[in-house]
Amino acid sequence: MSAEKIILGIDPGTTVMGFGLISVKKGKMEMVSIHELLLKKYPNHETKLKYIFEKTLALIDEFHPDEVALEAPFYGKNVQSMLKLGRAQGVAMAASLYRNIPITEYSPKKIKMAITGNGNASKEQVAGMLQNLLKLKEFPTKYLDASDGLAVAVCHHFNSGTITDTKSYTGWESFLKQNPDRLK
């Protein structure tokens, strides 16, 4: 287990999208990079999706992650918001699968539980725990969406080899086999 593994964690969003990269070598985690994609300035949803795809591909091409972990959309009351969030997640998934990188989804509660031990923790509590776990003197971003992306990567590391109630795909074929209802 001496080989280094790079994990890209993604917190999908249509206003701010968070990305966090960690390196795991000999069981030790280290933050590699953290990014946020600010999408408020773009005129429409289609343009936002284009930039999500491009940013995800750019990070993959720059850091060469071995695995990608995404936060699954949570079920809210606003159907339009849910639909837009699902599209953002789908575009990030497509970029990862386009580069043949396996992806895994985690529920927001599972991520919070893995990081803080409390599935109902606040974003601030998650960021504080990440700062402690990764031995960061200060948190490198003001956007908690970026820290959520980092949390997804750390959650994936903690769950490697013990994944339950998550979905993993190694490519389009795998995705379609596990989601036959999505093929029309």
Question: Is 71 one of the annotated binding-site residues?
Answer: yes
Q: Cα–Cα distances in Å, from 73 out to 130, 139, 144?
A: 21, 25, 16
Residue from 11, 36, 67, 148 carrying the catalytic annotation? 11
148 is catalytic: no
145 is catalytic: yes
In degrees and rounded to multiples of 5, residue 82 shows phi and psi of -60, -45
CA pair distance 27, 157, nearest whole angstrom:
9
Question: Is 124 one of the annotated binding-site residues?
Answer: no
Residue from 36, 71, 105, 148 carrying the catalytic annotation? 71
CA pair distance 152, 39, nearest whole angstrom:
20
Question: Is 11 one of the annotated binding-site residues?
Answer: yes
Residue from 67, 105, 145, 148 carrying the catalytic annotation? 145
66 is catalytic: no
Catalytic residue numbers, as ranges: 11, 71, 145
Q: Which residues are annotated as a binding site for Mg(2+)?
A: 11, 71, 145
Q: Which residues are annotated as a binding site?
A: 11, 71, 145
